[in-house]
Structure 1
């Protein structure tokens, strides 16, 4: 690999596979290892031209102010609410993410979480492990995927991958998003309207102020007592107190969650609920997919400095990949 004469600030710990490439390609400075992060930024700030970011530290205006020669922020993950992309775009700073390479893995997780939640498979496993099967059968599950209507909130790359898989289960599909995509699935222009017309919601909504706690008491009431809520998007989109009450009171039947509002902290009240299936944000969590995401992070940086083009710029970035 050719060494690129660029100072890179790595603000979140990366997989070894990724960090090794960054070390070879750039002068990589690991902020997360610094005994005094502010001192490192003060010392290196003017020389930093690139940032490799993850979800554990925000790239906000305060940090950008301290990096006056910053050209690009390459973010690990399809979601990039940890980066103030709007402010970056206004400053002419490129922001990239890692779409597509994780869509199938996350879609697989969403379908698996839906099946586990609807059919109570984790609860049935615990029943067996507790030795209860020797004296009784596990109760018939009150819910099924047969003849059910699935609503997908956020029909982007991941949402479409979920829809493709869901079709093979015979589920009818509707969706909510910013606009009607004029496709075969039924479109609803509000979450409440979607909830009123489906049995299961799978949320793929991104984080941010526009989606903060949009899943509230009204939406759960609309979903109804036979409804199932699945979230593999962002935890910030859910009013967790309202969800807990909905699960406790039978406002909805069940929930399957891979994301939470204050990760890695999950409310005790949520963990105590027997009708909630909870995962520790493992949607894209395979070695294969995380390596592919990391490779795209590296390739975005490399392509920018070698060819002047990012591979996957986000919408707020003043640059087209075409």
Structure 2
């Protein structure tokens, strides 16, 4: 049988790229000089493949009308899902397979930020330990953990909190059945928390959810940890809080304009910055690649997706 043709919205990880090329004919949309005209023309594509970071706007959804878009990643804020529904586009993503590695990294950020692990590493390497002792960090065990967004990843982070003897409360659209500690007021949660960890979805609904008021409530002894999306945090307010000493520190894996990061956040002594690597393990990457391919094969064989986006 002839191989299906897929419209590739943007660059993909090397492993996924090669595996898809073995099975399908791919056409790189991002190399088209006139993207809008190309999408508007009748095209013989059987579906499309993308990543969470690449925008799939109304023009893409219209071009894929009645077909499939397989997304590498969990986040859907850059996918126009309302347009997908209007044009009957079947959209999949890759949930669950990255949950545990992202939760692990969240705890890595908590420890690295509170105990200043990257700073201590640089201190030893620079030879400063010969001249003076390194400063004091902040204890993690027994502190209060506030989680914003108790979905799959937030729940995995919460499970790990028991090992650190940390009481937990959480904020979201509604309380979770069987999980106590729901706090409907985000400012109240920030006031209670020693660590405020963001694991919610991005998009317009959570844009700048963490603003100056929330950061002020978290206070000079509090730490902000973000493994959600950069858009959730007002980075100007974050920089001001750090500059004025009204926030204890921040551990960040995501940013508003990544890979761009403000020089202030990069240079601040109480900020740990990571390159959006929460899901970047060999095991998770392989599982995500396999799920993209499995979704496409399932759709082309049966018309059904294994992990459709709700």
TM-score relative to the length of structure 1: 0.91
Tell me the equivalent position of 1:98. 94
Tell me the equivalent position of 1:119. 115
**Per the alignment, do residues 11 and 208 of structure 1 end up closer, same or farther by CA in structure 2, a change over 3 Å counting?**
same
Alignment of 1:108 onto 2:109: no
Counterpart of 1:204 (choices 199, 202, 221) is: 199
**Per the alignment, do residues 5 and 176 of structure 1 end up closer, same or farther by CA in structure 2, a change over 3 Å counting?**
same
Where structure 2 has 5 or more consecutive residues not aligned to the other structure, the ranges are none
Tell me the equivalent position of 1:86. 82
- Counterpart-to-counterpart distance in 2, 1:284 and 1:62: 29
Cα deviation, 1:221-252, whole Å, max 9, x if unaligned, reads: 11111100000000001100000111111211
Alignment of 1:131 onto 2:142: no
Counterpart of 2:208 (choices 213, 216, 223) is: 213
TM superposition shift of 1:34: 4.7
**Per the alignment, do residues 4 and 286 of structure 1 end up closer, same or farther by CA in structure 2, a change over 3 Å counting?**
farther
* Preserved CA contact (<8 Å) 2:144 2:194: yes
* Preserved CA contact (<8 Å) 1:73 1:94: yes
Tell me the equivalent position of 1:305. 300
TM superposition shift of 1:139: 1.5
* Preserved CA contact (<8 Å) 2:70 2:92: yes
Cα deviation, 1:167-225, whole Å, max 9, x if unaligned, reads: 11111111111111133330011321211211101101111110001100000111111
Correspondences of 1:158-307 after superposition (within 5 Å): 158-307=153-302
**Per the alignment, do residues 191 and 145 of structure 1 end up closer, same or farther by CA in structure 2, a change over 3 Å counting?**
same
- Counterpart-to-counterpart distance in 2, 1:18 and 1:91: 27
Supply the RMSD in Å over aligned alpha carbons. Answer: 1.8
TM-score relative to the length of structure 2: 0.94
Cα deviation, 1:279-304, whole Å, max 9, x if unaligned, reads: 01011112221121111111111101
Tell me the equivalent position of 1:318. none
Alignment of 1:46 onto 2:43: yes
- Counterpart-to-counterpart distance in 1, 2:50 and 2:279: 17
- Counterpart-to-counterpart distance in 2, 1:77 and 1:248: 34
- Counterpart-to-counterpart distance in 2, 1:24 and 1:146: 49
Where structure 1 has 5 or more consecutive residues not aligned to the other structure, the ranges are 316-322
Tell me the equivalent position of 1:320. none
What's the secondary structure of 2:48's corresponding residue?
A: strand
